[in-house]
Amino acid sequence: MIKKLALSTLVLASSLFASNEVNVYSSRHYDTDKTIHKMFEEKTGIKVKVIQDNADALIKRMQSEGKNSPADVFITVDAARIQRVKENNLFQAIESEYLTKNIDSKLRDKDNQWFALTKRARVVVVRKDSPLANGIKTYEELADPKYKNQIMVRSSSNVYNQSLMAAMIAHHGIEDATKWAKGVVANMARDPKGSDRNQAKAVAAGIGSTAIMNTYYVGKLAVSNDSDKEVVSKLNVLFPKFENGGTHVNISAAGVTKTSKNKANAIKFIEFLLSKEAQEVYSKGNFEYPILKEAQTAPLVASWGDIQDDTVTINDLGKYNTDAVKALDIAGWK
Ligand code: FE
């Protein structure tokens, strides 16, 4: 009898345990995320299990796992990629009053299949002693021959550049956007190579004067070792705008998977990622911009200047991704 009772208690306990978790597939690879997941675990008692890989590998993995996939939540960076998850029919609509009430409709899917978690701006950094140091006002002017041998940027295989190009296409059409990309290529100080961080280092080292990069990498360098700090001390962060718009912003985003076994936990988890406390940790720890209006942007991020978001929608960044890849190739952006 006692044995039977103990066994059934064990079964009950293990089934409770099994449901007291949330399985996350994430292509975000930052320590800040671990901190935020821990905060969620401490607050709710729900265990967060993360599988971290690049977005396309995670999409493939979910497709091959089918309805047996353990994933409850999918997190990725970049507008085009998050829409790729939706197009592959891997998300379900999230019913959450908190999310629909607090998250701007421009920063979530129209069917509520994903919600943006953070914003990142793709801007330029310029060496302080360069004549261009305060001069760059638009993305369009980066194609002006006056910047010959000045510009550095990573390869066009990188989604951040693809989304920037998608925005250029949304503003100007594919023909003019391709001309622009050709102009940028003609102004490059070297062939595209390395990460965003490498571009900042190359600017500081004087290889060119200007780099296109995401803001949060400036923050990461600013809190890194002494030589990285010195790199940042040599740079101005400028916020170019499109001629008829604002500064290019991209997102990271999360959704609940179609086959989630822990749907309630998954929603609770995403709501937490979009709570004021988590949003401020994203900003302080990873130097991104919060999505939630009440959340404060970290002082270092705010110190670079005010940002006026571009008018091109997240949806358009996904829509023009294929055109952007083709146009960058035609332009010879390696
Ligand atoms: Fe990144």
The predicted pLDDT at position 40 comes to 98
* Confidence class for position 132, pLDDT limits 50, 70, 90: confident
Rounded to the nearest angstrom, the distance between the alpha carbon of 15 and the centre of ligand 1 is 38
The predicted pLDDT at position 11 comes to 44
133 has pLDDT over 90: no
Query: 113 with 94: CB under 8 angstroms?
Result: yes
Query: 224 with 149: CB under 8 angstroms?
Result: no
The domain ranges of the chain are 2-119+250-297, 120-248+307-331
Rounded to the nearest angstrom, the distance between the alpha carbon of 31 and the centre of ligand 1 is 13
Rounded to the nearest angstrom, the distance between the alpha carbon of 9 and the centre of ligand 1 is 46
| Per-residue pLDDT reduced to its tens digit, 82-118 | 999 999 999 999 999 999 999 999 999 999 999 999 9
> Under CATH, which number does the domain 2-119+250-297 receive?
3.40.190.10
Average pLDDT over residues 204-208: 96
**Shortest CA distance to 133 belongs to which of 253, 238, 285?**
238
* Confidence class for position 6, pLDDT limits 50, 70, 90: low
pTM (whole model) above 0.85: yes
> Under CATH, which number does the domain 120-248+307-331 receive?
3.40.190.10
Distance CA 109, CA 93 (A): 9
Residue 119: Cβ-neighbour burial (10 angstroms; 0-12, 13-18, 19+)? buried
* Confidence class for position 18, pLDDT limits 50, 70, 90: low
| Domain 120-248+307-331 in the same topology as domain 2-119+250-297 | yes
The predicted pLDDT at position 135 comes to 85
The predicted pLDDT at position 210 comes to 97
Distance CA 33, CA 182 (A): 37
The predicted pLDDT at position 19 comes to 74
Rounded to the nearest angstrom, the distance between the alpha carbon of 253 and the centre of ligand 1 is 13
